[in-house]
Amino acid sequence: MPKHFQFKRLIDRFGIQLTILEPTEGSTGYGPNGKKINQSPTSKVVIGVLTPLSKDEIRHAPNGTYSVHDRNLYTLEPVKPKSQVEHEGKRYTVLEIEDYTAYTDVYMYLAKGAG
């Protein structure tokens, strides 16, 4: 069944390169001496769009959990929750997916900004 909303061409045309740092499975553990070991996240580059939240999205957020530092993330491939997105020296944490994949050809996420 074709998707109702097709944004692939827009992302191909206006998208930017974003560095995604995905947490490694079993990223923490303990070495033979009992010290905690953290494995480095895996890095990949994706084409996507990172937009600020609208004033309405910030204003109507439950418990005021969104801020002006947060972003909407749109990509053509899935991104794991808790991944880090780097763009222009800023880092965002992917919190949740807005699953509209039954209707559109892009993946939509909320990315929490530091600050």
Domain assignments of the chain as residue spans, ordered by start:
8-24+38-113
Does the structural domain 8-24+38-113 have CATH classification 3.40.50.300? no
For 48, half-sphere exposure in the C-beta direction (CA atoms, 13 angstrom radius) is 25
Model pTM?
A: 0.77
The residues near 94 (Cβ < 8 Å, ≥ 6 apart) are 73, 79, 80, 81, 82, 83, 84, 85, 109, 110, 111
Q: What is the pLDDT of residues 73-95, one digit of tens each?
A: 999 899 998 999 999 999 999 98
Mean pLDDT computed over every residue of the chain: 82
